[in-house]
Amino acid sequence: MTLIIFASLRVGEVLGLRWKSVLEDRLAIVERVYDGTFDDVKTEAGNREVPFDQRGVLVQALERCRKTAQFLGPEDLVFANRAGKPIDRRNLLNWQIKPTAKKLGLPKDIHFRSFRTIHSSLMLRTGARPEVTRQYGTRQY
């Protein structure tokens, strides 16, 4: 969830993220996964580099992933199942996101798009210009 919120990534981009795309100061978003199939990113603008935030939230999240990851090769997925394959988006939603949302008192109908919207809203609250939030492919609702 951290990458979806703080980097404004689509769930398919997160699930398709490989270790070779985690660079020193940014993420290179070049592919996505949907229902176990890898593909180009959703839109031309989706092929992008996302700089790490100044507070280190993204770096810390990725370091936690690296410490627990079973597969660490450049072509391996950052978020892989036990077999090294992509995590199913429905499993992620039902087993991790919805239970966490319930504990936090968030609405039952929460979904992946909700978190991308949160990113945009947070950016606007911190003084980011609207054109900057659009660059990340989000809108405030």
In a domain, 141, yes or no: no
pTM of the prediction?
0.74
Q: Establish if 93 belongs to a structural domain.
A: yes
Higher pLDDT, 44 or 128: 44
CATH code at position 32: 1.10.443.10
One-letter-per-residue 3-state SS of 1-12: CHHHHHCCCCHH
Is residue 77 in a domain? yes
Residue 97 lies in a domain: yes
Is 123 part of a structural domain of the chain?
Answer: yes
Q: What pLDDT is attached to residue 133?
A: 55
Domain membership of residue 23 as a residue range: 2-135
Q: Distance between CA 1 and CA 130 in Å, rounded? A: 23
What radius of gyration do the chain's Cα atoms show?
15
pLDDT, tens only, 87-117 = 888 887 777 777 877 887 877 777 666 666 6
Residue 140 pLDDT greater than 50, yes or no: no
- Judge whether 140 lies within some domain: no
Q: Could you count the other beta carbons within 10 Å of the beta carbon of residue 6?
A: 20
Six token digits for residue 85: 């394959």
Comparison of pLDDT for 72 and 1, the residue scoring more: 72
Residue-wise pLDDT for 53-62, tens only, equals 888 999 999 9
Which pLDDT value is given to residue 112?
A: 64
Across the strands, what pairs with 80? 86
Tell me the torsion sign for CA atoms 100, 117, 9, 60.
negative
Number of domains in the chain: 1
